[in-house]
Amino acid sequence: MPNWMKMIEAKVALAKRGARPSKAGDNPRIPPGQKEVYDFPILDLGLEPDVSPSSWNLRVFGLVEGELAYSWKTFNELPQVDLTTDFHCVTRWSQLDMNWRGVPARDVILRARPLEKAAFVTLHSADEYTTNLPLEALLDDDVILAHSVFGKPLPPEHGGPVRLIVPKRYAWKSAKWLTGIEFHEEDRPGFWEVRGYHNEADPWKEERFSQGNL
């Protein structure tokens, strides 16, 4: 069995073990099939890259008029926002009221002036993880490039120095250790999306897997 299939199976097993799925009448902020947690679990491929702020770079490239490259210093000079959002992982945990600080994704993106035909984005991470979204989804005002959580710098295990946060999608779309935002004309499925995860990942529609729930 290929490694990625084992990873999906492990995630599904974890989901079945850990879940007391929410039912109608439970907290209306918890999407169907999710269970509330309070301890901000760590979930990734297990390959924590070594990204210090001084070596970190963010490239904004592809179908844009002006490619950009941010260093830690120039990134921190961008406008900052505080944002309280909910975080839903496909392995069935949800944490409410996460408190992030960072730069709105739209500010970073619009500064690069995407071309008319740029409709989709690949998010690139330092662990070689990728995920994909329509450009439009990244322009929502609740999507940020976060460098802090709960008032402290984002720890490396949670994707520091900078990660994406996309509250309206399952958390695998929220790329940790973000190093690149690439624009394309066509949609290019990312690491989990080519391995059976749903392309859209809306937790309210339970868009977990592309072939229904495994």
Ligand X SMILES: Nc1nc2c(c(=O)[nH]1)N[C@H]1C(S)=C(S)[C@@H](COP(=O)(O)O)O[C@H]1N2
Residue 41, contacted partner among ligand X, Mo ion, none, CB below 5-8 A by kind: ligand X
> Could you tell me the smallest distance in angstroms from the CB atom of residue 34 to ligand X?
12
19: partner contacted, choices ligand X, Mo ion, none (Cβ within 5-8 A by kind): none
- Determine if the peptide bond prior to 161 is cis (ω within 30°): yes
190 binds, among Mo ion, ligand X, none (CB under 5 to 8 A by kind): none
Question: Which region, judged by CB under 5 A, interacts with Mo ion, from 28-36, 39-47, 141-149, 197-205?
Answer: 39-47
Of 92, 101, 176, 208, the one binding ligand X by CB under 6 A: 176
* Contacts to ligand X from residues 56-95, by CB under 6 A: 89
Among 60, 129, 193, 201, binds ligand X (CB under 6 A): 129
Helices (H), the chain: 3-18, 72-76, 105-111, 135-138
Q: Is 124 in the site for ligand X (CB under 6 A)?
A: no
- Look at residues 170, 176, 206 and name the one whose alpha carbon lies nearest to residue 95: 170
Query: Does residue 89 bind Mo ion (CB under 5 A)?
Result: yes
Question: Residue 121 has which token pair?
Answer: 């984005």
User: Rule CB under 5 A: is residue 191 a binding residue for Mo ion?
Assistant: no
Distance CA 54, CA 71 (A): 8
Q: Among residues 62, 177, 190, 203, which is the contact residue for ligand X, using CB under 6 A?
A: 177
β-strand pairing of 178-184 with 57-62:
parallel
Q: C-alpha distances in angstroms, 136 versus 54, 106, 110, 139, 203?
A: 31, 9, 11, 5, 18
Is residue 207 near ligand X by the rule CB under 6 A?
no
- Extract the runs of DSSP E, i.e. beta strands, from 105-156: 120-125, 130-134, 144-149, 152-153
Do 164 and 149 contact (CB within 8 A), yes or no? no
Query: What mask of x and - would describe binding to ligand X in positions 18 to 47, judged by CB under 6 A?
Result: ----------------------xxxxxx--
Binding residues for ligand X, rule: CB under 6 A, are 40-45, 89, 125, 127, 129, 158-159, 171-172, 174-177
